[in-house]
Structure 1
Amino acid sequence: MIPNDTIIALATPSGAGAIAVIRISGSNAIALASDYFKSIRGKNLIDQKTHTIHLGHIVEDKRVMDEVLVSIFKGPHSYTGENVVEISCHGSPYIQQQIIQLFLRNGCRTADAGEFTLRAFLNGKLDLSQAEAVADLIASDNEASHQIAIQQMRGGFSNEIKTLREELLNFASLIELELDFSEEDVEFADRSQFKELLQRIQTVLKGLIDSFAVGNVIKNGIPVAIVGEPNVGKSTLLNALLNEERAIVSDVAGTTRDTIEDEISIGGIGFRFIDTAGIRETQDVVESIGIRRTFEKIAQAHVVLYLVDGWQLTAAGAMDTLKNEIEKIKNKFPLKSIVLLINKLDRLTEDQLSMFKEKLPDDDKRQTTLFISAKTKEGVADLENKLLQFVNTGALRNNETIVTNTRHYNALLKALEEIEKVQFGMDEELPSDLMAIDVREALYHLGLITGQVTNDELLGNIFSNFCIGK
């Protein structure tokens, strides 16, 4: 049901600022605003053209609340598809609340979380995946997540799903028609074309499903655990990557007793670095808890940076110990990418470097070795470039559709499962009525993504995650 009341909310962040924007939407939005807006040129808002801005004052009983700019957007040519008024006032929290309370007393109600965007969806201005992209766009904090959200909001993902669904719907209609003439034993749907369609749909769905692995880490930031023994420079490396003194650096072993996390953007991709407690045998209860959490963070990380002190590697047996420690991590976390970082490059001689390169563990698909100095930042740029290689940015560069939404991912998995059932039915020459059931299920799951199939519980769950003014 499309609501017909008028809603109001602050569209800019709460708190003091230069200006604030108050948004009103509903069939009576412009009429309500005109009752309390006095134009400096004597204009009546109701008579003004859509997409125009007007200077004046918000006035109640001759009391001037503020000098404002009022923008009007007449439905259906507005964000929500309804009449919309946006009041730009001065950013005093007192002024904001005075204006909002004025309209709440006179015909408006406070908008629910995401209700403006919900109305845009209900009025056909956005489909459901585009509406969800609005929230992703607001939350984007790096170039890659911004690019993905923009593409989805502009309908790139929706168009792919709609095209697949329309083609499948056409064949579903022919299969349903066959059921009406089952006694005549006729076929309206060309089975060879249907097989080609099923193969094409499976290819597209598998590509979208595979893209979620990239999209999910891009959206949420790629977790990178910095691990190693105490005093090898983990905190110094974190500070070097962040370009700030985020972690305490000390010569005392065991300074970091808990994990420290912070996020930065490298090449437009968000990376969440986790500085962990040094791994060693200890009787200290607090430090032991930190070490246990270190292994928990390794399990959660996408990439593990294993840092060692290059100067300490010159000791007898140190190289064998290092190889054993790397092997332990590989055995415990076989799917993790490991970057072995030989730190304190500024203290190593050319002969030592040559010796290390001969004796260090051989690089393989899961492991790379780099030489750095966390103190002087030498080699840190090479590390950043290596981290970018762990992310498949090719899809981003080619502007391909990348799935970042867990709800979409689950719907795609279920749709693919139903399509594979239809494929099996075709191969086994099962009756049309059995295949029709699976086709309907596939259409249902594809429709859930764009909102062609929906329910109140689903909408409530999605839009409750929005901010109030959006």
Structure 2
Amino acid sequence: MQIPNQDTIIALSTAPGVGAIAVIRLSGPEAIEIVNDVFHGKSLTEQESHTAHFGTIRDNERADGIAKIIDEVLVTLFIAPKSFTKENVVEISCHGSPFIVQQIIKLFLRKGVRLAKPGEFTQRAFLNGKFDLAQAEAVADLINADTEAAHTAALNQMRGGFSEQIKQLRQELIHFASMIELELDFGEEDVEFADRQDLKNLVEKLLSVIKILANSFDLGNVIKNGVPTVIAGKPNAGKSTLLNALLNEEKAIVSDIAGTTRDFIEDEINLEGVVFRFIDTAGLRETEDKVEAIGVSRTREKMKQASLIIYLFDMKNDSIVEIHRDINMLENLGVPFIKVGNKVDEAQPELYEKLKEGNDVLFISAINKENLEALKTKLVETVNLDKFKTGDTVVTNIRHYDNLIQTQNALTAVMTGLESDITGDFLALDIRQALHYLGEITGEITTDDLLSNIFSKFCIGK
């Protein structure tokens, strides 16, 4: 597939703002010739690909007829098809003044170059066959990766590991799809080209692989987006103190007055390559204070939406009955939680002995920062990065996950049809559906709306 009306596009590829250097990128059939018209140095049209050239950018079309130097620049050439977009690409490294950047871009706009849309460089790379759609999406993930795990996952996907798995699954299914379609062509002769048992074995194999990929999304989502972690407990259990201790800064207001936290306070830390997004909430208790009651209600909603809960209780003041009641409530939520007893330095001896028996409570002193490292270790253990560290493919993109589920549903329908001995035309319909959803992952099947939705989320200049 090719882009219609391939004009030349331009955008700032480095972050906007003042900096030592800014990089302006052009891509399109006439990119080199257009830049050559305003570049004073070597003739760019006579240079080889992947070479850099020093010179000046000059505005030759001033009303007074005097060419004005805009900046001294370094121009790098990438001649098609040996470029990111597989088109002629020119990258202009200029001084990082926003004024200089603006003047250079305005100069090229006057020469007929068009401003690039968000993600248009990567979109052109995809449409020109540089890589498939899943790999193109990994480019954005790589740019936004803020942990080692997220970086590794994006890099693996960009290198095509996930894509190859999907393409292999699809290719195996295409073979049987063609056999079923052939049967339909000879419908009146009652012939069977696709062995039903072989097809059943294949569908079982595909369902097994797809289930593993789909199940990896929980881990992939954590790697990419972090773990929403709610700190919940009664007022004055030390939730805000714990948040401040974990973040190592005074983020939340700490007070002896119960119910100080009325809304959510959020921040995040990186623990061994995983981002935990901590949410300090209003205390869990019945209250007649209308404002505090709203905060408690919102806390319960946040707990339902969380991926992990730190249940913090007060070893100095809470009773075993209150703690067990809260634990029972958390178990009914179905969200993983860690039991943490705070103020262990002031703990009721009897309460401490009872809770120590179960060996599933972590005892800390948030105010003294005692045993916080053990809590951090426990948090990382709940994520379980072992699967990711083995090098297995991990799905991190919600669109890919949705397509895998749709494929799973279509293949389940194929299996049901095989067991019910339905006719080939109905089997073919479900097989086509499965092929369609697998093809959407890698971009073998696309629509303009799908591409627009994906690439509009990229930054301009990429």
Same fold (TM over 0.5): yes
How do residues 231-242 of structure 1 correspond to structure 2 at under 5 angstroms? 231-242=236-247
Equivalent residue number for residue 63 of structure 2:
none
CA deviation string 1:125-184 (max 9, x = no partner)? 121111111111122222222221111111111111000111111111122122222333
8 Å Cα contact 1:230/1:277 also seen in 2? yes
8 Å Cα contact 1:57/1:66 also seen in 2? yes
Equivalent residue number for residue 7 of structure 2:
5
Equivalent residue number for residue 64 of structure 2:
none
CA deviation string 1:424-461 (max 9, x = no partner)? 22223222222111111111111111111111111111
* Aligned pair partner of 1:282 in 284, 287, 296: 287
Amino acid at match of 1:341: V
8 Å Cα contact 2:315/2:351 also seen in 1? no
Residue 219 of structure 1: how far off its partner (Å): 1.8
Unmatched segments (≥5 aa) in structure 1: none
How do residues 241-252 of structure 1 correspond to structure 2 at under 5 angstroms? 241-252=246-257
Equivalent residue number for residue 406 of structure 1:
398
Alpha carbons of 1:361 and 1:257: their partners in 2 closer, same or farther (altered >3 Å)? farther
Amino acid at match of 2:336: S
Identity level (%): 55
Tell me, in whole angstroms, the C-alpha distance in 2 between the residues paired with 1:359 and 1:65: 73
Amino acid at match of 1:425: G
Unmatched segments (≥5 aa) in structure 2: 61-66
Alpha carbons of 1:307 and 1:49: their partners in 2 closer, same or farther (altered >3 Å)? same
* Aligned pair partner of 1:192 in 197, 209, 216: 197
How do residues 39-438 of structure 1 correspond to structure 2 at under 5 angstroms? 39=41, 43-61=42-60, 62-313=67-318, 318-331=319-332, 333=333, 335-348=334-347, 356-359=352-355, 362=358, 368-438=360-430
Equivalent residue number for residue 17 of structure 1:
19
Residue 414 of structure 1: how far off its partner (Å): 1.3
What SS does structure 2 have at the residue aligned with 1:250?
A: coil
More displaced stretch, 352-361 vs 1-10: 352-361
Alpha carbons of 1:30 and 1:357: their partners in 2 closer, same or farther (altered >3 Å)? farther
Tell me, in whole angstroms, the C-alpha distance in 2 between the residues paired with 1:6 and 1:387: 50
More displaced stretch, 293-302 vs 268-277: 293-302
Residue 359 of structure 1: how far off its partner (Å): 4.6
What SS does structure 2 have at the residue aligned with 1:390?
A: helix
8 Å Cα contact 2:320/2:351 also seen in 1? no
More displaced stretch, 152-161 vs 288-297: 288-297
8 Å Cα contact 2:355/2:361 also seen in 1? no
8 Å Cα contact 1:323/1:361 also seen in 2? no
Residue 462 of structure 1: how far off its partner (Å): 0.9
Amino acid at match of 2:19: G
Alpha carbons of 1:88 and 1:171: their partners in 2 closer, same or farther (altered >3 Å)? same
Residue 372 of structure 1: how far off its partner (Å): 0.8
RMSD (Å) for aligned C-alpha atoms: 1.7
8 Å Cα contact 2:76/2:90 also seen in 1? yes
Residue 362 of structure 1: how far off its partner (Å): 4.1
More displaced stretch, 119-128 vs 413-422: 413-422
CA deviation string 1:397-447 (max 9, x = no partner)? 111111122211111111111111212222232222221111111111111
Which TM-score applies when normalising by structure 1?
A: 0.93
Tell me, in whole angstroms, the C-alpha distance in 2 between the residues paired with 1:229 and 1:188: 68
Residue 361 of structure 1: how far off its partner (Å): 8.4
What SS does structure 1 have at the residue aligned with 2:14?
A: coil
8 Å Cα contact 1:306/1:340 also seen in 2? yes
8 Å Cα contact 1:319/1:360 also seen in 2? no
Residue 65 of structure 1: how far off its partner (Å): 0.8
Residue 465 of structure 1: how far off its partner (Å): 0.7
Tell me, in whole angstroms, the C-alpha distance in 1 between the residues paired with 2:169 and 2:349: 57
CA deviation string 1:351-389 (max 9, x = no partner)? x567524256846xxxx4100111222211111111112
* Aligned pair partner of 1:456 in 445, 448, 454: 448
Amino acid at match of 1:435: L
Tell me, in whole angstroms, the C-alpha distance in 2 between the residues paired with 1:353 and 1:44: 84
Residue correspondences, number: 454
8 Å Cα contact 2:267/2:279 also seen in 1? yes
Tell me, in whole angstroms, the C-alpha distance in 2 between the residues paired with 1:423 and 1:288: 52
Tell me, in whole angstroms, the C-alpha distance in 2 between the residues paired with 1:424 and 1:156: 31
Tell me, in whole angstroms, the C-alpha distance in 1 between the residues paired with 2:310 and 2:384: 19
Residue 224 of structure 1: how far off its partner (Å): 0.8
Which TM-score applies when normalising by structure 2?
A: 0.94
* Aligned pair partner of 1:439 in 419, 431, 443: 431
Tell me, in whole angstroms, the C-alpha distance in 2 between the residues paired with 1:260 and 1:361: 34
Amino acid at match of 2:383: V
What SS does structure 2 have at the residue aligned with 1:78?
A: coil
